[in-house]
Amino acid sequence: MVNRMVTVEFHFDFGSPNAYLSHLVISEIEKRTSVKFEYVPVLLGGVFKLTNNRSPAETLRGVRNKPEYERLETQRFIRRHGITGFQSNPYFPVNTLMIMRGAIAARRLGIFRSYIDEIYRNMWAEPKKMDDPTVFRIVLTDAGFDAESILRLIETREIKDELLHNTEKSVEHGTFGSPTFYVGNEIFFGKDRLRDVEEEITRIQAQP
């Protein structure tokens, strides 16, 4: 029996450490299920504005015990998946507008997935101040990308509008934060829902 086709989307912003940790695990799920995740760049600040949501850094401020528990769950996730390349970014929170527009530009230039790997690495494995244009240019150049082409594209109206459209469409679909996953029309939020994402994929694949 041939597996049913499954569409899976990963709506992400480089500024979310949980989206980065999800990114490191997605390849495992892709191998097990033979389903390729579609990465959808969105601007998390825009998502928060459109949904009247706030970042955990704000909502957990002054709350007793919950931030400690969240850190515990993160460490459990890291151990479960054998993740070694993760550090807190000392410049957090980082304004991700430039690097998210860069993701749109990278897709146009045919370097989308390699760009994602490099930006995530420089955000959360070897943390840098990625909202600094000089730092961004150096990262692009060191990765072997055409920095000038990317920097020129991110200033165009077309690239800016596409990121805005992605963000608005994502919110209309149900997104309120990052990481958000869609398996077909089913929404799953957070890195700890990746097990549910995989279960939904295999459930659909098993249907006659």
| 3-class DSSP state of 41 | strand
Where helices occur in 130-193 by DSSP H, the ranges are 133-142, 147-153, 157-173
Residue 65 gets the label, from left (phi > 0), alpha (psi -120 to 50) or beta, of left
| Overall average pLDDT of the 6-29 stretch | 96
Residue 1 confidence (pLDDT) above 50? no
Q: How far apart are CA 180 and CA 187, in angstroms?
A: 7
Average pLDDT, the chain: 94
pLDDT for residue 56: 79
| 3-class DSSP state of 96 | coil
Binned at pLDDT 50, 70 and 90, residue 61 comes out as: confident
Residue 25 confidence (pLDDT) above 60? yes
- Phi, then psi, of 159 in degrees rounded to 5: -70, -45
CB of 85 within 8 A of CB of 117? no
Rounded to two decimals, the pTM is 0.92
For residue 208, is the peptide bond before it cis, meaning its omega torsion is within 30 degrees of 0? no
Residue 4 confidence (pLDDT) above 90? no
CATH number of this structure's domain 10-206, picked from the four choices 3.40.980.10, 3.40.640.10, 3.30.420.250, 3.40.30.10: 3.40.30.10
Kindly tell me the number of DSSP H helices and DSSP E strands found in the chain: 10, 4
Which range, 46-60, 76-90, 128-142, has the best average confidence (pLDDT)? 128-142
